Structure 1
Amino acid sequence: MLFLFAINPASGGKGKNDWEVAIHNFFANNTHSTELFHLDGKTDDTELPRKIREVNPDCVVAVGGDGTIKSVAEHLVDTGVPLGVLPAGSANGMARELNIPQDIDGSLNLLVDGQNRPVDCIDVNGELCIHLSDVGLNAQLVRYYQRNNLRGKLGYLRSVMQVLKKRRLLRVEINLDDQCVQRAAFMIVLANARMYGTGAVINPDGDPSDGKFEIVVFRRLTVWEIVKLFWRYQPFDSKNIEIFPATSIKIATHRKAYFQVDGEYQGRVTEIDAKIRPGALMMRLPA
């Protein structure tokens, strides 16, 4: 097989030199071949697809976190070319969700020994989402985190403190299938998965390959519940949330609200239009 590694030097986690050395050593004495491509965040939308056409790989591997996976996946949706993952980011929620090993050797072995399986995506306001998108409090956290150029859990904690001072309820109208729901909530999550990158479980029955996604409505959110977004691995209190399965949805908010997709802040919106894209992305996963 020919693997094309798309490496994001700006991702958190382990040093990228460690990953590059491990890639070189792992493939030095076997029949598989590799190509390395460094993402720069500026020309990737033109240069990465050009590289994919030039190399014609059997698998494109995203080396980074959830944001890197999203940016690489955008060029592989509906192509049949599988996406592999080396979880080298500060947030590796999708890798955890899909049982991709978090260590270098384990994730490299998976590329060789795994199998190609289809995974659902969500189209959210024209953006590709393969993990989690939300409007409200967590999206505000993402904005602070990125704007302050913070990394790690201490960075998240600082963002949490900033957001807690300004948190406000949103009045929202949610239209799904033949149902219209009106709620006051701190945030609404469109979940194609079970957990955030920190391991906090928000959607216990989520399955990224079941042909649907879930809308998770946080009607009450205490300080401790917010902290659990980043440090705890147990589900949220079911008394504080509602979960609705859907294949398409329209959400309207009474005021502009913070909005993020797969850990990338998108701005403030008053409307969200989302629909499932079943099996749109092929991924290299455990057998």
Structure 2
Amino acid sequence: MHTKTNILFIINPISGGRGKLRIPDFIDKYLDKEKFNANFVFTEYVGHASELADEAASKNFDVIVAAGGDGTINEVATKVLKHNIVLGVLPLGSGNGLARFLNIPKNLRHAILAINAFKVDRIDTAEFNNKCFFNLAGMGFDAHLSSAFSKDKKRGLAGYVKLGFQEVFNYKAEQYLISIDGIDYKRKAFAVSVANSSQYGNDVYISPNASVKDGLLDVCIIKPFSILKLPVLSYIMLKGTAETSDMIEIIRGKNIKIQREHAGPVHVDGEPLQMGAEIEINISPLSLKVIVP
């Protein structure tokens, strides 16, 4: 008699703006009971997924599945990494940047079948001033926007776009001193994103050739531009042509330090945070075990 794998599904009931209360029944229907003992738990507040994952890892759960968006994945993966167990992902967020990169199906049944197949791969993880990130982190306009958006209660894509248009007219590019593997770059930038994977989510590519398996981070510097070129920038990101665009400079490396003019907002896997003027970013190659199709 082989022993079953203990698996915990941590479900964010509000990610992606859809109700999730029937998800456990759905998972139960398709999950392989010969292989897994499944447990389900719903998160109730920001940071809860992290606490639940920490607790589960110390109670001999071997696999923890984040059922939610990039924020839920970040909380769960941070603890999975710490305890060296296996991460599963059911992409239920609005953007699903990392899940898209790993080709985890958006279709829930297919994503569960991928968990049944249990193919485990390893991916790079990174730290942004000691806070783990798996997809993207950064500062500048997008961080400013996330920060403003988190204070705005009318959430949703339409609200985000509307706010973006209001803010983009007033936002001023800032000076950054960026050190990448010992080489210094002085840049004025509209935004600086550090990419482990290639996209923000929703197939918006900041660094089309980024890989979570190359041991490198892509520092993507969006240069200051005239507001008339905003549609061009959007098109570049949707088409995945940032590598060849003169609006974005991409420099790859392992150890990165960024000094900006003052403390302020940053975003780490989509979560808005406040950090100091100096930021240190490192990568840990192939450090996270994750189930992939």
TM-score (normalizing by structure 1): 0.91
- Structure 1, gaps ≥5 residues long: none
Q: State how far apart, in whole Å, the 2-side matches of 1:45 and 1:31 are.
A: 25
Gap change, CA 1:227 and 1:145, over 3 Å in 2: farther
Query: Which residue, 45, 50, 54 being the options, matches 2:55?
Result: 50
| Map 1:47-196 → 2, pairs under 5 A | 47-54=52-59, 56-196=60-200
* Gap runs ≥5 in structure 2: none
Sequence identity, in percent?
A: 28
* CA distance 1:96–1:28, change in 2 (3 Å): closer
Structure 1 residue 21: deviation in Å?
2.6
Name which of structure 1's ranges 22-31 and 32-41 shifts more when overlaid on structure 2.
Answer: 22-31
1:178 positional shift: 2.8
Do the aligned residues in 1 keep the contact of 2:236 with 2:245 (CA within 8 Å)? no
Asked if structure 2 preserves the Cα contact closer than 8 Å seen for 1:171 and 1:183, the reply is yes
Task: Report the residue type matching 2:255 in the other structure.
Answer: S
Distance 1:267 1:256 in 2: 7
Equivalent residue, structure 2, for 1:281? 288
Alpha-carbon shift at residue 172 of structure 1 (Å): 0.7
More displaced 10-residue stretch of structure 1: 266-275 or 102-111: 266-275
Report SS of the residue matched to 2:279: strand
C-alpha deviation, 1:79, in angstroms: 2.9
1:234 to 229, 240, 245: 240
1:201 corresponds to: 205
SS at match of 2:205: coil
TM-score by length of 2: 0.89
Measured after TM superposition, the shift of residue 171 of structure 1 is: 0.5
SS at match of 1:282: strand
Q: Distance in 1 between matches of 2:67 and 2:232?
A: 31
Secondary structure at the counterpart of residue 216 of structure 1: strand
Give 4+ residue runs of structure 1 displaced > 4 Å after superposition: 28-31, 42-45, 225-230
Partner SS state of residue 157, structure 1: helix
1:252 maps to: 259
1:13 touches 1:88 (CA, 8 Å); kept in 2? Answer: no
> 2:25 matched to which residue of 1?
21
CA gap of 1:86–1:130, structure 2 versus 1, over 3 A, is: same
- Once residues 82 and 257 of structure 2 are traced to their aligned partners in structure 1, the CA distance between those partners, rounded to angstroms, is 24
Q: d(CA) in 1 for partners of 2:181 and 2:33?
A: 54
Q: Deviations over 1:137-161 (max 9, x none)?
A: 0111211222213443212212212
1:243 is matched with 250
**Which deviates more, 77-86 or 126-135?**
77-86
User: C-alpha displacement at 1:220, in angstroms?
Assistant: 3.4
Aligned residues: 284
Aligned Cα root-mean-square deviation (Å): 2.1
Summarize the Cα distance change of 1:252–1:28 in structure 2 as closer, same or farther, 3 Å threshold: closer
